[in-house]
């Protein structure tokens, strides 16, 4: 058993080794977002901070830039930006996790007494039926993992669909281990809670929370944490049309195993942000990371992007700190360490952008950069403010702030000849004198933060390098710029 895992890991490492230098120099690669050394990645898994380092595991297919039998890639960092790739942590090798359409699916990590434990979903087909079970792998050096001989440690209850029982999130409360598992019960998504004293023997405790139809048929990748006395559940629900990463805020009762939520919000409204997972660091900061791409079952899906021609596909969105506001909303701020990447700072003074005269701005090389725009709403007469990114004669990506309807749009219909669609969400303008829009751009991603970081839209675009102009435009009146700060952002690789 140990041998077959080692063999399968070695084969995967050899595959990556052959191509990783090409990917390192690929023109399409991200410059400061995490991406795999080569080939395919999706969800972040087992994100954790211990002994001064952040560990990131992720869904990894080390043989091609498309989804395939899932491995767990592994990387380590001391600032969440500069990553060192470590040996692959998990590879399919056992009857419960080896299948062309399965493998070692998503999960989480916990660290105690010098042992790093990974809990993951073994996904296989048995007699044509999908079977998903929860499995344990442990390590004493945080690099080499041994699968537990008693795997799987949790099998689904009878009433759960066999295809959909996955993505265990383990956490400790009052000396008891808990594991939350995403599940489908007929047409309702649920988060099931299990208890254990040793991570090996588990008992079913409760349905922590469930969809009553309004929150989809399957909850992927649940995450659950305490923040300022409240509890927060993250889910990536399937089947809720427009929504795909949802947070619920409420109170947890550990006697009944029930989470009663009273507030609900969207973690990110963009096209490309899925399966968010959080960790707590030594500064007590809750930090969220997520896969920056979209699944083929999402209504707006139009491919995973053209980067597979350079032998990679998938990256992570920027790590963000999570803060609770008035017990009912969350803020997602790009981590402070990003300021260390800033270069070529520029400042644009107060000015008026008119319908006739748009403002062209420069931010580093205009491709790997950051912009913070503040609009004085009291002095603004226009209905619409457009921030036009990666523009040329042929292409443009438009962020539209509609002050009349109170909405923000991310329009990538003309971004690159490949991407399509518009994402739309509320812009919170009540009692506001200023509109702040903070944007991060990398080779093929744009992340837009507004409403004091309550609203975020993250999406991928693939324009050519000469599509690199940036404008601020006003429609139907004038836009009063209070300030614009821009920076280039240095590469981390």
43: contact with ligand FRU by CB under 6 A? yes
Q: How many residues in the shown chain lie near ligand FRU by CB under 6 A?
A: 13
Report whether 23 contacts 310 (CB < 8 A).
yes
310 catalytic? Reply is no
Residue that has been written with the tokens 């649920």 in this structure: 190
* Cβ 36 to ligand FRU shortest distance, Å: 13
Q: Distance between CA atoms of 119 and 179, rounded to whole angstroms?
A: 9
118: contact with ligand FRU by CB under 6 A? no
User: Which of 8, 59, 307, 311 touches ligand FRU by CB under 6 A?
Assistant: 59
The pair of three-digit structure tokens given for residue 239, joined into one six-digit string: 């089947």
Q: Which is nearer to ligand FRU, 92 or 364 (CB)?
A: 92
Q: Which is nearer to ligand FRU, 159 or 297 (CB)?
A: 297
Cα three-residue angle 107-108-113, rounded to 5 degrees: 145
Q: Which is nearer to ligand FRU, 220 or 451 (CB)?
A: 220
Q: Which residue among 21, 22, 43, 282 is the active-site one?
A: 43
167: contact with ligand FRU by CB under 6 A? yes
135: contact with ligand FRU by CB under 6 A? no
Q: How many CA atoms within 13 Å lie on the side-chain side of 168?
A: 32
Q: Which is nearer to ligand FRU, 42 or 400 (CB)?
A: 42
User: Which of 98, 121, 133, 396 touches ligand FRU by CB under 6 A?
Assistant: 121
The answer to whether the Cα torsion of 153, 163, 271, 460 is positive or negative is positive
User: Which of 32, 34, 38, 42 touches ligand FRU by CB under 6 A?
Assistant: 42
Q: Which is nearer to ligand FRU, 275 or 435 (CB)?
A: 275
* Cβ 106 to ligand FRU shortest distance, Å: 3
At 213, give phi and psi (nearest 5°): 115, -30
Q: Which is nearer to ligand FRU, 121 or 380 (CB)?
A: 121
105: contact with ligand FRU by CB under 6 A? yes
Report whether 137 contacts 90 (CB < 8 A).
yes
166: contact with ligand FRU by CB under 6 A? yes
Q: Which is nearer to ligand FRU, 221 or 232 (CB)?
A: 221
Report whether 479 contacts 435 (CB < 8 A).
no
221: contact with ligand FRU by CB under 6 A? yes
Among 190, 196, 160, smallest CA distance to 175 is for 196
User: Which of 30, 93, 106, 382 touches ligand FRU by CB under 6 A?
Assistant: 106
Q: Distance between CA atoms of 367 and 347, rounded to whole angstroms?
A: 18
60: contact with ligand FRU by CB under 6 A? no
223: contact with ligand FRU by CB under 6 A? no
453: contact with ligand FRU by CB under 6 A? no
List b or e across 313-348, with b for residues whose CB sees 16 or more CB atoms inside 10 angstroms.
bbbbbbbbbbbbeeeebbbbbbbeebeebbeeeeeb
220: contact with ligand FRU by CB under 6 A? yes
97: contact with ligand FRU by CB under 6 A? no
Sheet strands side by side (includes 115-126): 103-112, 115-126, 129-139, 146-147
Q: How far is CA 137 from CA 143, 158, 193, in A?
A: 11, 25, 20
- Footprint of ligand FRU (CB under 6 A): 42-43, 59, 70, 105-106, 121, 166-167, 220-221, 274-275
Positions annotated as catalytic residues are: 43
């Amino acid at each position: 058993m140990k041998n077959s895992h080692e063999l399968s890991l070695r084969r995967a490492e050899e595959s990556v080794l052959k191509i990783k230098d090409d990917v390192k120099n690929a023109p399409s690669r991200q410059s400061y977002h995490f991406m795999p050394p080569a080939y395919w990645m999706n969800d972040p898994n087992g994100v954790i901070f211990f002994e001064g380092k952040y560990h990131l595991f992720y869904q990894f297919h080390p043989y091609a830039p498309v989804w395939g039998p899932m491995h767990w890639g592994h990387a380590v960092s001391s600032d969440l930006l500069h990553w060192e790739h470590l040996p692959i942590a998990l590879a399919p090798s056992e009857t419960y996790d080896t299948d062309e359409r399965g493998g070692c699916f998503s999960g989480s990590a916990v660290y105690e007494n010098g042992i790093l434990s990974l809990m993951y979903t073994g996904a296989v087909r048995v007699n044509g039926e999908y079977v998903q079970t929860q499995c344990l792998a442990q390590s004493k050096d945080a690099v080499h993992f041994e699968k537990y001989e008693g795997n799987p440690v949790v099998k689904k209850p009878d009433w759960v669909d066999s295809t959909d029982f996955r993505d265990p999130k383990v956490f400790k409360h009052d000396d008891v281990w808990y594991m939350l598992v995403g599940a489908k019960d007929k047409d309702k998504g649920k988060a099931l809670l299990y208890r254990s004293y040793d991570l090996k023997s588990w008992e079913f405790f409760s349905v922590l929370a469930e969809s009553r139809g309004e929150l989809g048929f399957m909850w992927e990748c649940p995450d659950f944490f305490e923040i300022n006395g409240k509890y927060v559940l993250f889910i990536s629900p399937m089947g809720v049309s427009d929504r795909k990463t949802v947070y619920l805020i409420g109170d947890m009762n550990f006697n009944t195993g029930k989470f009663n939520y009273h507030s609900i919000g969207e973690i990110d409204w963009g096209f490309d942000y899925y399966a968010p997972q959080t960790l707590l660091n030594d500064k007590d900061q809750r930090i969220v990371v997520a896969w920056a791409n979209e699944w083929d079952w999402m209504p707006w899906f139009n491919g995973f992007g053209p980067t597979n021609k350079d032998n990679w596909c998938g990256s992570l969105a920027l790590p963000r700190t999570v803060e609770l506001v008035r017990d009912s909303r969350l803020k997602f701020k790009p981590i402070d360490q990003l300021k260390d990447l800033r270069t070529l700072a520029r400042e644009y003074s107060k000015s008026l952008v008119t319908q006739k005269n748009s403002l062209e701005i420069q931010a580093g090389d205009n491709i790997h950069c950051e912009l913070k725009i503040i609009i004085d709403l009291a002095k603004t007469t226009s209905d619409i403010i457009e921030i036009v990114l990666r523009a040329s004669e042929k292409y443009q990506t438009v962020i539209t702030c509609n002050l009349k309807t109170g909405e923000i749009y991310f329009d990538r219909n003309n971004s690159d000849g490949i991407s399509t669609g518009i994402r739309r969400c509320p812009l919170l303008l009540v009692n506001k004198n200023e509109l702040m829009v903070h944007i991060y751009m990398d080779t093929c991603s744009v992340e837009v933060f507004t409403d004091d970081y309550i609203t975020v839209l993250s999406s991928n675009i693939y324009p050519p390098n000469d599509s690199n102009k940036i404008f601020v435009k006003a429609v139907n009146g004038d836009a009063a710029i209070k300030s614009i700060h821009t920076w280039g952002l240095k590469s981390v690789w």
